[in-house]
Structure 1
Amino acid sequence: MKVSENLLLDTYHLLQLARETALAQGNAERAERLSPVVNELRNLVIQNREPPSAQPTGIMSGQDFQTLLSITSRSSSLPVQGSPNQERYQAVLAMAAANMNETDIARHLGMTLEEVRTLLQIAQPRSTHSME
Structure 2
Amino acid sequence: MDDRTRAVETEAIEQVVAEIQYAQRNELPDRFAALFRHDAIWTTGHGKRLIGRDEIAEFTRKVPPGSSKHGLGTYEVVHILFVRPDVAAVKVRQRYVTPDGELIESEGEGTPLHVMSKEDGRWVLTASQNTQVFAE
Normalised to the residue count of structure 2, the TM-score between the two structures is 0.26
Task: Report which structure shows greater RCO (CA 8 Å, sep ≥6).
Answer: 2
Normalised to the residue count of structure 1, the TM-score between the two structures is 0.27
Which of the pair has more CA radius of gyration? 1
Higher helix share: 1
